[in-house]
């Protein structure tokens, strides 16, 4: 059981990094719009 859970956790790591990149992209867009208003 423990080995199966470890294998399941490893594939989940890359998607988390992709989500972080997307979240960072939204922050950049928000900053551009924020400075664009001013």
Question: What's the per-residue H, E or C state across 8-38?
Answer: HHHHHHHHHHHHHHHHHHHHHHHHHHHHHHC
| DSSP secondary structure code for residue 1 in this structure | -
Query: Residue 3 corresponds to which tokens in the numbers above?
Result: 């080995």
Assign residue 36 a region (left: φ > 0; alpha: ψ between -120 and 50; beta: otherwise). alpha
- Return d(Cα 2, Cα 9) in angstroms, integer: 11
Q: Please report, for the chain, the start and end positions of each structural domain, with discontinuous segments joined by +.
A: 1-38
**20-29 tens-digit pLDDT:** 788 899 999 9
Rg from Cα positions in the chain: 17
**1-38 tens-digit pLDDT:** 455 555 555 555 556 777 778 889 999 999 999 998 86
């Amino acid at each position: 059981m423990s080995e199966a859970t470890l294998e399941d956790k490893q594939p989940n790591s890359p998607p988390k990094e992709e989500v972080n990149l997307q979240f960072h992209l939204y922050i950049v867009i928000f900053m551009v719009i924020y400075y664009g208003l001013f």
